[in-house]
């Protein structure tokens, strides 16, 4: 299992990065992205620290640690600039907090994110066919989420991705120890979205790009 979307105490997570990584390793994960919430107010504080701890941990742990960021609740017109800044600071995974139906994310966020240099559009809610086509054309992964609330539109995302041929990944968006899941639970979440275990394996192949 590879989980590319998690949070530490550098935003609203409960764990320092070392414990987050250790717990993920214990759960059997082979890769984890630490992608704390960010905007221009804190990118320069978060990303260098996550990059540094990832480099240190990757020398001693079996699990692969990938430093990243989740651009979160940033107004659409400002997303591209935030993404450029995050890249320049060393983020290896750039996620944008998509238009989940359970938070007041600004309309147009999905579109602006897909037009920027991002890797994953997280929990994109009731994403449109046109936006899914853009994701396919640009090679941006759409997220199937294990997180309560965000997961309510997994079926919609999965259906359109299958119809159009966009690539998917499954992530936990973990904030607490109990949010981490193993491969078996991830497979069940994927199947609950109307997909198959073969689709899960393809998602893991997609995620392995970052390893």
Band of the pLDDT at 163, cuts 50, 70, 90? very high
What are the sequence ranges of the domains in the chain? Answer: 2-210
Tell me what pLDDT residue 108 has.
98
Tell me what pLDDT residue 29 has.
97
Tell me what pLDDT residue 50 has.
98
**What is the rounded CA–CA span in Å between residue 12 and residue 97?**
14
Domain 2-210 fold = TIM Barrel (3.20.20)
Band of the pLDDT at 191, cuts 50, 70, 90? very high
For 152, counting Cβ atoms within 10 Å of its Cβ (0-12 exposed, 13-18 middle, 19+ buried), the class is middle
pLDDT tens by residue, 170-186: 999 999 999 999 999 99
At residue 76, the 3 state secondary structure works out as: helix
Q: Exposure pattern of 43-67 as b/e (b: 16+ CB <10 Å)?
A: beebbebbbebbeebeeeeebbbbb
Tokens standing for residue 105 = 């994310």
**What is the rounded CA–CA span in Å between residue 164 and residue 158?**
10
Place of tokens 């890249």: 87
Q: Model-level pTM greater than 0.85?
A: yes
The alpha carbons of the chain give a radius of gyration, in whole angstroms, of 16
**What is the rounded CA–CA span in Å between residue 200 and residue 173?**
17
Tell me what pLDDT residue 33 has.
98
Tell me what pLDDT residue 111 has.
98
Tell me what pLDDT residue 152 has.
98
pLDDT tens by residue, 116-161: 999 999 999 999 999 999 999 999 999 999 999 999 999 999 999 9
Place of tokens 């600039």: 81
pLDDT tens by residue, 59-117: 999 999 999 999 999 999 999 999 999 999 999 999 999 999 999 999 999 999 999 99
């Amino acid at each position: 299992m590879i989980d590319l979307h998690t949070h530490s105490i550098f935003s609203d997570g409960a764990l320092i990065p070392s414990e987050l990584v250790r717990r993920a390793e214990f759960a059997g994960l082979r890769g984890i992205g630490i992608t704390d919430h960010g905007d221009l107010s804190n990118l320069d504080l978060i990303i260098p620290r996550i990059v540094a701890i990832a480099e240190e941990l990757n020398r001693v742990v079996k699990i692969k640690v990938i430093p990243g960021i989740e651009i979160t609740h940033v107004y659409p017109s400002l997303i591209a600039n935030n993404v450029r800044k995050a890249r320049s600071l060393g983020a290896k995974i750039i996620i944008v907090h998509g238009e989940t139906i359970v938070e007041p994310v600004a309309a147009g966020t999905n579109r602006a994110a897909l037009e920027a240099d991002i890797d994953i559009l997280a929990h994109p809610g009731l994403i449109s066919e046109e936006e899914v086509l853009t994701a396919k054309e640009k090679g941006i992964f759409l997220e199937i989420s294990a997180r309560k609330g965000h997961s309510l539109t997994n079926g919609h995302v999965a259906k359109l991705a299958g119809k159009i041929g966009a690539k998917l990944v499954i992530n936990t968006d973990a904030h607490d120890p109990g949010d981490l899941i193993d491969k078996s639970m991830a497979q069940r979440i994927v199947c609950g979205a109307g997909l198959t275990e073969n689709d899960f394996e393809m998602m893991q192949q997609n995620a392995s790009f970052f390893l």
